[in-house]
Amino acid sequence: MAEDTKKTDPDLDDWFDLDKYKQAAGVAYEFSKKKLEDAGREERKSATQRQKFSDRDEERDRKQASKAYSY
């Protein structure tokens, strides 16, 4: 009889725990959110670094061009 009760009583069904599902979904959401924030920070850092390199390269090229022009 106990086996029949397991099949019909939803409180005894531990196959799908809604609270655990919600917790897992919350953890996954927070992880995904943090990952996107980190990616955004890295992209900004990369863009800043690319701009610095570009500015430095332009300055170097300008100096080389002005030296070459003076001769």
Domain boundaries, the chain: 16-70
Task: Report the distance separating Cα 51 and Cα 19, nearest Å.
Answer: 48
Q: What local confidence, expressed as pLDDT, does residue 67 receive?
A: 87
Q: Provide the token pair at 26.
A: 């919350």
In angstroms and rounded to an integer, the radius of gyration of the C-alpha atoms of the chain is 31
pLDDT at res. 1: 46
pLDDT at res. 7: 56
pLDDT in tens, 12-55: 555 778 899 999 999 999 999 999 999 999 999 999 999 999 99
CB 13 within 8 A of CB 6: yes
> Which token pair is 44?
């900004």
pTM score, two decimals? Answer: 0.52
The Cα 52–Cα 44 span in angstroms is: 12
